Structure 1
């Protein structure tokens, strides 16, 4: 059976294969002119007409409308779900391969399924840290969404692009995309659910003090309530394996149902994790009210302490808690949280952030902060140059280190730290007037 082209192409191809005229296909129920309009793409048959035409053409309604037989479609749907499970709970690289296979196997006419697979592949690339390729894929999909809104929704793509550009260091582009997504979400009154939570997570990273963005984040957090997470990994993988077994036994419908159950089982934790991240970063805002910031930081710390594989996020939440206590003047607790954070962190810029809190505490107490200041410089230097040309977190840490050196009267070290802050931000040409002799204590 021909499956290329539009519905009209399939109707015409099948009709010609059966040596039928348009009048014969129309029969007593339709006019031949209406059949002609369908074949030319000027009319889309209603479900009733589609069933009637399918009967006369000797094919299934599914094939006439979508270009594939029911079994093909359900197998493709199942492939999409298994690839999604691989992305969320398995290997993103393998997920990308599976989504790619679906794209290659799907006919051009099955645009919606193909678009879903391409979107999955783009998210798989993002999950692997292949941001350049992910951005290219998301940008292509966004152009397609503009041309064919019936195939793809623009809002999830815009949010994903904002997230990718933010991670890649292009903060201006990330902020513009987040603002575009916010305008669309506000117009549609999207304040709850996955899209709202994902948008809030993007906005808290790019807001730059914009009160509209911060207010939206605050509303989403309030409406979503306290995030709760439970380790359901065993249940998810059991359902996933059962779906694979059902597919092997030719029970595709059951396999799809089991895969859907597995995806649903993981949804609450994904949303809880996003909400906890957003709550934590909201609590770090200088403008956040003290009591609410304390509550949100405490909630985030509890969530990440309970989540397996969330060691880094737990460390960051402890830093957020430390910063909240530091702003409130509780130096002892700020020091305790920052010290605990160091036990949860690896080689990220967050280690420097924890030491920055401890250095501020030491300076406020009049104790020696030199050891912490040295540790910050050593850690940031060991991280090397940013992967994507600029790193805002590293740049901020160097700048804050410079501020602290200024408080201790170490002017050369302060100048050197500011220079490194500009380099981390990708502003190298601005350093022409800074002497090369200015060094941090660990540069020797």
Structure 2
């Protein structure tokens, strides 16, 4: 187990356990006063001095500097990688537990390892949808990054918090954090890599009501133009094989090989993770530009099509695949192709049979708009189907839900087209409630910027 305390505590503890004086430990190379300063925490030994002290104290330099033996450290590093694989390709709840265990093992005396484990746990909490605890964890890490920038970078934490506050319904805080991150990214001229893509994903949400020419959405468009939505092969079987091999190597106490195999598994999954993120950004961008009536819509069509191709490659991404079909249907509808839109919306509903979610409800809204454009079909019945799906979601989820709020608003808009005033008012009220605004009264005019 790691030693408790600071470098000075370890030097003093080992010296006393070996019945050495400070002068004996100092020897001919150091002064006893310098040893005293190290033990009191007023000096940190250089690597050369640390090696010298470790030899005289009969321990490893790694233990003296970090309070952990080389084997223990590599096992902790391996634990971090296996927890990361669990987060990316397994169970986020299990990942959170594993990261938490590493925090306990590493302790505060191994600040770097502990910080990375706490960051992993915060990401796992977010992945579970436990946004409140995730925000608390990210906020603590951001304060730590301000005090100890050598442990954690502030920029990724700012982006993560913007994303979490957006999920939680605090759009003003989310926008402020995204703006801070955007200023940093612009100074760095950064448009590629995980930070840039994560920020674009946050901005496409926080800037949705500010128009396509806003600084945030301009950055999103730039990221998409630079990165595109790259096609990616399904390498999940390869990732699983490497992960399993890493576990077997660890059980055989070949920790170095286990770490290498885990690193290979993580690297193998990286292209798909980036492609998924870019595909989601592309979907939201396409939907947003189509809803704003931006012309021409060829770019939106290309991006939505690319997203559909990415998610269609992965059977476990069924919901994302269905959503990409609905977004593409929406773009087709705005482009004047109601038949194509109806076919895509119908395909999405076939995928989502038995699932009550906003994507299925949106597919029904597309079909209702197709029926309106053709002047045929029972529009009221189609809208009732969407209403029932959204009501099922509402009973199962009491948290703010921006996407559900947007669909309720669109449902209200469509009710107005068929003269269903009571249903329209009810849908608008529920849009406000889904956005986190409670106690809305009948007849209140909804600010669509809240729920767009």
TM-score (norm 1): 0.91
Q: What is the CA distance between 1:432 and its match in structure 2? A: 5.9
CA contact (8 A) 1:2 1:14 kept: no
Moved more, 11-20 or 124-133: 11-20
| 1:239-388 map, 5 Å | 239-286=242-289, 289-345=296-352, 346-368=355-377, 369-385=379-395, 387-388=397-398
1:160-211 Cα offsets, whole Å, 9 max, x none, are 2222232333333332322222223223333211122122112212223441
The structural deviation recorded for 1:53 is 2.0
Relative to structure 1, the CA distance from residue 250 to residue 427 in structure 2 (aligned partners, 3 Å threshold; closer, same or farther) is closer
Supply the distance in 1 between the matched residues of 2:433 and 2:123 (Cα, whole angstroms). 30
The partner residue of 2:401 within 359, 376, 391 is 391
State the Cα distance separating 1:388 from its structure 2 match. Answer: 4.2
User: What is the CA-CA distance between 1:33 and the residue it aligns to?
Assistant: 4.0
Question: Which deviates the most, 260-269 or 180-189?
Answer: 180-189
Instruction: Please list, as runs of the form range in 1=range in 2, the aligned pairs for 1:25-40 lying within 5 A after superposition.
Output: 25-40=25-40
More deviation, 55-64/200-209: 200-209
Shift of 1:301: 0.7
TM-fit CA distance, 1:254: 0.7
Match of 2:227 in 1: 224
Q: Tell me the residue number matched to 1:176.
A: 176
Residues 425 and 442 in structure 2, CA contact (< 8 A), matched pair in contact too: no
Aligned to 1:440: none
Deviation at 1:6, TM superposition (A): 2.0
Q: Which residue of 2 aligns with 1:437?
A: none
Task: Give the secondary structure class of the aligned counterpart of 1:273.
Answer: helix
What residue in structure 2 maps to residue 234 of structure 1? 237
**Which residue number in structure 1 is paired with residue 89 of structure 2?**
89
Residue equivalent to 1:214: 217
Q: Which residue pairs with 1:129 in the alignment? A: 129
- When structure 1 is superposed on structure 2, of 100-109 and 62-71 the one drifting more is 100-109
State whether residues 227 and 273 of structure 1, in contact with CA within 8 Å, keep that contact through their aligned partners in structure 2: no
1:192 is matched with which residue?
192
Is contact 1:62-1:70 (8 Å) kept? yes
Q: In the TM superposition, what whole-angstrom CA distance separates every residue of 1:217-239 from its partner, at most 9, and x where no partner exists?
A: 12222222332221111111111
Determine the C-alpha separation between the residues in 2 that align with 1:201 and 1:130: 19
Corresponding position of 1:201? 201
Once the two structures are superposed, residues 377-409 of structure 1 have per-residue CA deviations (whole angstroms, 9 ceiling, x without a partner) of: 222223234734432222222222222222222
3-state SS of 1:263 partner: helix
What is the number of equivalent residue pairs in this alignment? 434
Q: In 1, distance between residues paired with 2:9 and 2:430?
A: 62
Q: Determine if contact 1:80/1:102 at 8 Å carries over to the other structure.
A: yes
SS in 1 for 2:288: coil
* Alignment correspondent of 1:109: 109
Q: Could you tell me how far apart the structure 1 residues matched to 2:74 and 2:369 are?
A: 59
RMSD: 2.2
Q: Within the alignment, does 1:413 sit opposite 2:423 as a pair?
A: yes
Query: Measured at CA, do residues 422 and 209 of structure 1 come closer, stay the same or move farther in structure 2, by a change above 3 Å?
Result: closer
Matches of 2:218 and 2:224 in 1, distance apart?
10
**Unmatched segments (≥5 aa) in structure 2:** 445-452
Provide closer, same or farther for how the CA distance between residues 318 and 13 of structure 1 changes in structure 2, counting only shifts above 3 A: same
Other-structure match for 1:153 = 153
TM-score computed with the length of structure 2 as normaliser: 0.89
Equivalent in the alignment of 1:57: 57
In 1: Cα distance, 2:428 partner to 2:129 partner: 29
Q: Distance in 2 between matches of 1:231 and 1:132?
A: 33
3-state SS in 2 of match to 1:320: helix
Tell me if 1:401 matches 2:411.
Answer: yes
Does 1:428 pair with 2:438? yes
